[in-house]
A and B are shown apart, each in its own frame.
Chain A
Amino acid sequence: MLEINGLSSGYGKIEVLHQINLHVDEGEVVSVLGANGAGKTTLMRTIINLIHARSGTIKYRGKDITHLKTHQIHALGIGIVPEGKRLFEKMTVMENLRMGCFLEKNERVIAERIEKAFDMFPRLKERKDQLSGTMSGGEQAMLTIARGTMSDPDLLIMDEPSFGLAPVLINEMFSIIKRISQEGKTVLLVEQNAWKGLEISDRGYLLQKGEVILEGKSSELKENSLVKKAYFSN
């Protein structure tokens, strides 16, 4: 479904990602693991072309999307849950959700999707007219995910959805991601919390200093000593 070949990118004179190869198949949950500064977020941002690739290609369903604009990539059916929430803080919960399916013009479809999102996050329904900037961190995280699914994407790219959440909420978050994948969506998940990430994913990649140093089935990765090492030393 998503195929990345020899991808390099970076900021200014500094190259952060070197020759990344990665693929995500239909229906999979794939996690990208790595310590702080390993290049995970850079990878996500390069996929959606917020950072331009220096070399290599990114293909989605066989189509080259390397040089498409961010909004065009989204329009192909890729949902994005960005790092650090990035909500529209001066908009209400409802408006944020509507922004999530900005390209959908059919009011009935939109209503259905909002209903579905409220079903998944009942808490958001209670707060639907509140400005998103005034909600708690946990509620904001939920809204970010709900917003990402509003366009009914085939592939959902999530960048550290659990970041900064209380442990109780982290568990809830992962069960929701599981639920999303059970509904037939493909998920590319960037996680710092390696054990949790591997628990719900089928396969995983380990990033270190901008390179993929390990890939494989999640169950195998869990046992791998390199994963431990990558996480506990830098």
Chain B
Amino acid sequence: MDMIGQQLMNAVMLGTMYSLVAIGFSLFFGTMNVIHFSHGDISMLGAFIALFFVPIITQYSVLGSVIMFIGAIVIVAVLGIFLSGLVIQPLQSSPQLYTLLATLEAGLVIREAIRLFYPGGKMSQKFPIIFPSGGFSIGGLTIRFDQLFILAIGVAVFVATVLIVNKTSLGMAIRAYSQDKEASMMMGVSESKVIAVTFALGSALAAIAGILHGTYYREVIYTMGLTSGIIGFSAATIGGLGSIWGAIVGGYLFAFIQTSVSAFVPGGSEYRDVIAFGVMILFLLFRPTGILGERQSERV
């Protein structure tokens, strides 16, 4: 019971981070019909930029952590917009493969830049503790405070994202644009603004995921973005690309598959990604639109 509880908690933590990355994939696909393969590396970048704020945290603790969060998120959001202008928008009218390759290479460049130019970037970096340590236990299950914080931040961000997309006028513009680009422009929606907002929002969520990853594992490394990007895309695919709820469901599902493999399959912890990816591939083959997706995987 105890072990299962811990595993469950672990799955919830992982799921929260995966979902945050997956939402970005869904957003970009829904509005611009592109897959932004460097999205995971954007998330990694979020964590590393947060590291620049470490001196502030040591000085101001709580306020410092808030500044770190906001600072890293804003910087990454701006970088996301910049990246979309560099490798996505210029390629909108070219075959898919080029966008794919350009974003993958962009991810590689980000990874390599961190590895080469971040001081000691080849090794994993210690991430500061920003949430109160300690915890409490209910019926043998120990819950740490940082876990609660991560969950709370995750849920708050999910709710905020859903509200932004469904209730605000910007969100309405994004939805209109994703349903019919030209018609939305005829109604006064600015294309460049929608694209900028979408990328800022998606990148901000990825940055949050990166920072939460850092706080949970207490360390970050430049390669973490590649896996989290592929996992994020897999999660969005399982849930149904284009749907925000789908991305959230997919993120948690992916995490539950992973943790159950490492919990119940003997010696499975090394192979958890192998099996989770395998499940994703099966999903793609037999239910290409995902759990909640309505969009066809190929639009003719």
Closest partner residue, chain B, to A89 (CB atom): B179
A50 in complex: contacting residue of B169, B173, B175, B182, CB < 8 Å: B182
Contact status B183-A91, CB under 8 Å: no
Contact status A102-B169, CB under 8 Å: yes
Chain A positions 68-90 with a Cβ under 8 Å from a chain B Cβ? 69-71, 74-75, 80, 82, 86-90
The reply to whether the CB of B63 lies closer than 8 angstroms to some CB of chain A is no
Closest partner residue, chain B, to A80 (CB atom): B186
Chain B 169-204: CB-based contact to A (< 8 A → 1; otherwise 0): 100110110011011111111110000000000000
Chain A positions 45-61 with a Cβ under 8 Å from a chain B Cβ? 48, 50
Closest partner residue, chain A, to B180 (CB atom): A86
Contact status A99-B191, CB under 8 Å: no
Chain A residue numbers with a CB within 8 Å of B188 are 71, 74-75, 102-103, 151
Contact status A100-B182, CB under 8 Å: no
The reply to whether the CB of A202 lies closer than 8 angstroms to some CB of chain B is no
The reply to whether the CB of A222 lies closer than 8 angstroms to some CB of chain B is no
Chain A residue numbers with a CB within 8 Å of B183 are 82, 86-88
Query: CA A48 – CA B186 in complex, angstroms?
Result: 8
Contact status A71-B172, CB under 8 Å: no
Query: CA A82 – CA B182 in complex, angstroms?
Result: 9
Contact status A70-B176, CB under 8 Å: no
Contact status B185-A91, CB under 8 Å: no
What DSSP secondary structure best describes chain A's contact surface?
Answer: loop
Contact status B172-A99, CB under 8 Å: yes
Interface size on A, residues (CB 8 A): 24
Query: CA A217 – CA B298 in complex, angstroms?
Result: 49
Contact status B191-A98, CB under 8 Å: no
With A99-B172, A102-B169, A102-B172 known as contacts, the answer to whether A91 contacts B179 (CB < 8 A) is: yes
Closest partner residue, chain A, to B192 (CB atom): A69
B179 in complex: contacting residue of A75, A80, A90, A147, CB < 8 Å: A90
With A88-B175, A90-B175, A91-B176 known as contacts, the answer to whether A69 contacts B186 (CB < 8 A) is: no
Least Cβ–Cβ distance between B92 and chain A, in angstroms: 15
Chain A residue numbers with a CB within 8 Å of B184 are 88, 99
With A50-B182, A82-B186, A86-B182 known as contacts, the answer to whether A69 contacts B176 (CB < 8 A) is: no
Chain B residue numbers with a CB within 8 Å of A215 are none
Query: CA A142 – CA B173 in complex, angstroms?
Result: 22
Closest partner residue, chain B, to A147 (CB atom): B187
Closest CB pairs A-B (n = 9): A70-B185, A86-B183, A80-B186, A103-B188, A74-B188, A88-B179, A102-B188, A71-B188, A102-B187
24 A-B interface contacts by CB (under 8 A): A50-B182, A50-B185, A70-B182, A70-B186, A70-B191, A71-B187, A71-B190, A74-B186, A75-B188, A82-B186, A87-B183, A88-B176, A90-B175, A90-B179, A91-B176, A98-B172, A99-B172, A99-B187, A100-B187, A102-B172, A102-B173, A102-B176, A102-B189, A103-B188
Q: Which B positions have Cβ atoms within 8 angstroms of A?
A: 169, 172-173, 175-176, 179-180, 182-191
